Amino acid sequence: MANFQLDHKTKTDKYSYKAKKGLSRKLVGEISRQKKEPEWMLTTRLQALDQYLKMPIPAWGADLSQLNFDDLYYYLKPIEKPYQTWGDVPPAIREVFEATGVPQAERAMLAGVGSQFDSEVIYHSLQKTLAKQGIVFLSMDEGLKQHEEIVREYFGKIVPYGDNKLAALNSAVWSGGSFVYIPRGVEVKLPLQAYFRINSEKAGQFERTLIIAEEGSSVTYVEGCSAPAYSSASLHAAVVEVIVKERARVRYTTVQNWYKSVYNLVTKRAIVEKDASMEWVDCNLGSKVTMKYPSCVLRGERAHGSMLSIAVAASGQHQDSGAKMIHLAPQTTSEIVSKSISKGGGRSSYRGQVLISPQATGARSRVVCDALILDPESRSDTYPDNRILSGDATLEHEAYVSKINEEQMLYLRSRGLSVSEAASLIIRGFLEPIIQELPMEYAVELNRLVKMEMVGSVG
């Protein structure tokens, strides 16, 4: 099996283009020019920039006061263009990714792989068989070039640039990300995979992903994110738009282990049509601050949305995450399962919203939030907002916050496990319902990262 790691160690210094720090109309124009984009995309970018400059930073959520937006590189290009074979990628960059096990993983298990380094996707490939079925998996830049009409139809329609300040920023300076198109009736059996790495200090990474699943299709998309250990802040402000058409199924899995200097502010939204289903699986281990609330707009009858998430907040971290399920049609269903752990002074907040509109008769929603606080310095909050505007709908919501169960600890210790071994096992068990939904090598890596985090935290 592939040896896969989302570590914080390796880094490199070679870039083919490094923009000056700070944001300006000139820079936005330069990005568009370097990418040779159509006119309408440049217009969109500039409109988004204007919107971004007008909007205030959100007053709720985590503390963003220490993030200096002027002290960031908004565009960093490591190489001239993406490579098709791993051997052609410059060694300095290849090394960084080899540490994460990328090429082996591809050979072993995945249908297609994309690797993004700071602002650009450097490596992309897709199994030939899949390409024959009409499946498209490209970097967003290539997607725009090769499938301009499709991109134009959906880009910014699911997450408009006016949605929130960070979405406006992303819409102005986006670079990289994935474009996935699955034709009608096609079921992609193996996961499509993307790796995102912020390599430079004070870098901003603004990937933009668009996934279109036509009627009756199905696909699993998995992304892993990491960044090396730096002391100054970086920003990851991504936007993910997904459209799941009738009877289609999409699962989008993220394992995020950004270093503790990264601000991870992400907007992810899916529109789900009749009889279709969208599943978000979200694991947040790293970053200094994460604000991320994947959402599903259940627009068609019997649409289903679900969100399974893990958040681990250690010293100096604030994981402010959750989900939004918007029921707009009858018989729609949603499920949110959130598991969080706070330790060493970390803070984990669940912020969720379930909205069942008056038209969503017979809608059903279930929310479960469980949180473990391992020590007296840490904290955990739950802020769920449930608006049931149809008398025919049902909602079940439960949340539980506590420390590790003493009886369970006693039992395991009476079987010879040390305090930390017992705690580790119990924590793994706590996260198990979600870990079992991850692809094998991610589950293994997550278990390893969680175990590392837990060393020394209970006792």
Least separation in angstroms between CB 331 and other proteins: 14
Tokens of 371: 């949180």
Contacts of 134 (CB under 8 A, 6+ apart): 183, 186
Among 43, 133, 315, 402, binds other proteins (CB under 8 A): 402
Only one of the segments 58-66, 207-215, 282-290, 380-388 lies at the binding site for other proteins (rule: CB under 8 A); that segment is 380-388
Can residue 430 be called a binding residue for other proteins (CB under 8 A)? yes
Can residue 72 be called a binding residue for other proteins (CB under 8 A)? no
Only one of the segments 200-208, 318-326, 395-403, 437-445 lies at the binding site for other proteins (rule: CB under 8 A); that segment is 395-403
CA distance 237 to 228: 17
Among 218, 284, 380, 457, binds other proteins (CB under 8 A): 380
The neighbour count for residue 204, using CB atoms within 10 Å, is: 26
Site for other proteins in 332-361 (CB under 8 A): 358, 361
Among 383, 437, 447, 451, binds other proteins (CB under 8 A): 383
Least separation in angstroms between CB 413 and other proteins: 4
Closest CA to 215 of 273, 176, 258: 273
CB closer to other proteins, 8 vs 397: 397
CB closer to other proteins, 190 vs 401: 401
Can residue 293 be called a binding residue for other proteins (CB under 8 A)? no
The neighbour count for residue 14, using CB atoms within 10 Å, is: 12
Closest CA to 122 of 85, 151, 173: 85
Least separation in angstroms between CB 392 and other proteins: 6
Contacts of 326 (CB under 8 A, 6+ apart): 295, 296, 297, 298, 353, 355, 357
CA distance 443 to 452: 14
How far CA 375 is from CA of 290, 351, 429, 459, in Å, comes to: 21, 22, 19, 10
205 forms beta bridges with 236
Least separation in angstroms between CB 379 and other proteins: 4
Among 128, 416, 452, 456, binds other proteins (CB under 8 A): 416
The 10 Å CB-count burial string (b at 16+, else e) for 328-348 is: bbbbbbbbbbbbbbbbbebbb
Element spanning 290, H or E: strand 289-292
Only one of the segments 96-104, 281-289, 304-312, 407-415 lies at the binding site for other proteins (rule: CB under 8 A); that segment is 407-415
- One-letter-per-residue 3-state SS of 246-268: CCCEEEEEEEEECCCCEEEEEEE
Site for other proteins in 358-377 (CB under 8 A): 358, 361, 371, 373-376
- Check: CB of residue 404 under 8 Å from CB of residue 423: yes
Can residue 381 be called a binding residue for other proteins (CB under 8 A)? yes
Can residue 202 be called a binding residue for other proteins (CB under 8 A)? no
Can residue 448 be called a binding residue for other proteins (CB under 8 A)? no
Can residue 385 be called a binding residue for other proteins (CB under 8 A)? yes
Can residue 1 be called a binding residue for other proteins (CB under 8 A)? no
CB closer to other proteins, 428 vs 451: 428
CB closer to other proteins, 204 vs 352: 352
Least separation in angstroms between CB 409 and other proteins: 9
**Secondary structure class of 328 (helix, strand, coil):** coil
- Check: CB of residue 330 under 8 Å from CB of residue 359: yes
Only one of the segments 27-35, 121-129, 188-196, 388-396 lies at the binding site for other proteins (rule: CB under 8 A); that segment is 388-396
Least separation in angstroms between CB 322 and other proteins: 12
Can residue 396 be called a binding residue for other proteins (CB under 8 A)? yes
Only one of the segments 112-120, 213-221, 276-284, 421-429 lies at the binding site for other proteins (rule: CB under 8 A); that segment is 421-429
How far CA 205 is from CA of 43, 170, 175, 241, 416, in Å, comes to: 21, 9, 8, 17, 47
Can residue 393 be called a binding residue for other proteins (CB under 8 A)? yes
CB closer to other proteins, 232 vs 359: 359
CA distance 229 to 234: 11
Can residue 426 be called a binding residue for other proteins (CB under 8 A)? yes
Only one of the segments 78-86, 237-245, 251-259, 424-432 lies at the binding site for other proteins (rule: CB under 8 A); that segment is 424-432
CB closer to other proteins, 107 vs 387: 387
Closest CA to 279 of 246, 303, 253: 253
Residue type, 383: Y
Tokens of 9: 């160690």
Can residue 310 be called a binding residue for other proteins (CB under 8 A)? no
* Strands (E) located in 5-153: 17-18, 76-77, 112-117, 120-126, 136-139
Site for other proteins in 130-189 (CB under 8 A): none
Among 127, 333, 378, 457, binds other proteins (CB under 8 A): 378
CA distance 102 to 122: 12
The site for other proteins (CB under 8 A) is made up of: 358, 361, 371, 373-376, 378-403, 405, 407-408, 410-419, 421-422, 425-426, 428-433
